[in-house]
Amino acid sequence: MKIFLDTANIAKIKELSQTGLIDGITTNPSLLFKEGGDAKKIILEICSILPDGDISVEITKTNPDDVYKQAKEIAALSKNIIVKIPCHADYYKIINKLVIEEVPVNVTLVFTMLQSLMMAKLGVTYISPFVGRLDDLDVDGNVIISEIREMLDNYNFETELLAASIRTVREFHEAILNGADAVTMPVEIFEKSIKHILTNQGIEKFTEDWKKLGIQQFP
C-alpha cells in the first residue's frame, strides 16, 4: 500500500520523507501555484528528495498534440516522473500512444468506474479517482473506489488504484478498506493520521508514574 503526499511544498516533503512512509508525491498546477516560484526547479528538487518515489507531474497544455509533446518533455525531466493527464475523451488517443511508448501515466480527474475501466484497458500506471470532490457533491467518493477495485480485480488489470482528493482522515481510512493501492493526501491529513490523543495521554501518564518511582538510572 503506497502513501503519497499531495503537495509541492519542499520543506514538508523533506521533513515527512524522513518517516520512511512516503512513496511518492502528486503535484498539480494548483499545488505548484500555491508554492509560487520556478515550477520546473521545484519538480526537479522533489524528484531528488525521493529518488525511488513516484512523482506525478501534470500537463498544463490543452490541445492534444501539445499535450503529447509536453508529456514527453515532462517524462524526460527525471526517471521517477509519472505524467499526469486528465481523463478527457480528447486525450484518450494520446494516453494510448504514451502507454505504448512506455511513458508512465497517472490519469487524473477520474470520477466514474467506467472512466477507470477505459484507462485500465489502455494500461496506464495509475488511475486517480477524486474522492473528496465527489463527497463535496454528496456522492460517496469511496463507493466509487470500491467499484473500481472490483472492476480491476474482475479483469486482472495491472493499473493501480490511487485514491485522490482526500480531505479527511476518515476518507483515507475508507480508501484503504475499499482496496486502494495508493492514497494521496494533503500534508495535514498525513500528519493527523499518524497522531492519536490517547497515545499522547498514555505517554504522559507513564512518564509521570515513572518519575514518581525516583529511579535515577534505568536499566
Quick one: which of 9, 146, 184, 193 contacts ligand E4P (CB under 6 A)?
184
Identified binder of ligand E4P from the candidate list 86, 123, 132, 179, rule CB under 6 A: 132
Distance CA 149, CA 139 (A): 17
27 three-state secondary structure: coil
**Rounded Cα gap, residues 167 and 165, in angstroms:** 6
Catalytic residue among 34, 84, 195, 205: 84
The distance of closest approach from Cβ of residue 186 to ligand E4P in the complex, given in angstroms and rounded to an integer, is 7
The yes or no reply on residue 165 touching ligand E4P (CB under 6 A) is: yes
Q: Which residues pair with 106 in a beta bridge?
A: 84, 126
| Residue 178 or 184 with smaller CB distance to ligand E4P | 184
Contacting ligand E4P (CB under 6 A), which of 133, 169, 173, 187?
Answer: 133
Region for 179 from its dihedrals, namely left if φ exceeds 0, alpha if ψ lies in -120 to 50, beta otherwise: left
For residue 133, the minimal CB distance to ligand E4P (Å) is 5
Task: With beta carbons less than 8 A apart as the criterion, state whether 81 and 63 touch.
Answer: no
Kindly identify the residues of this chain, within the stretch 53-92, that bind ligand E4P according to CB under 6 A: none
Q: Which residues pair with 86 in a beta bridge?
A: 108
Is residue 116 at the binding interface for ligand E4P, with CB under 6 A as the rule? Answer: no
The verdict on 2 binding ligand E4P (CB under 6 A) reads no
Q: Which stretch binds ligand E4P (CB under 6 A): 74-82, 111-119, 130-138, 153-161?
A: 130-138
Burial 74-111 (b: 16+ CB within 10 A, else e): bbeeeebbbbbbbbeeebbebbeebbeeebbbbbbbbb
Rounded to whole angstroms, the Cα distance separating 117 from 138 reads 23
* Minimum distance from residue 177 beta carbon to ligand E4P (Å): 19
84 is catalytic: yes
Give me the active site residues, please: 84
In the complex, which residues of this chain contact ligand E4P (CB under 6 A)? 6, 26, 28, 108, 128, 130, 132-133, 164-165, 184
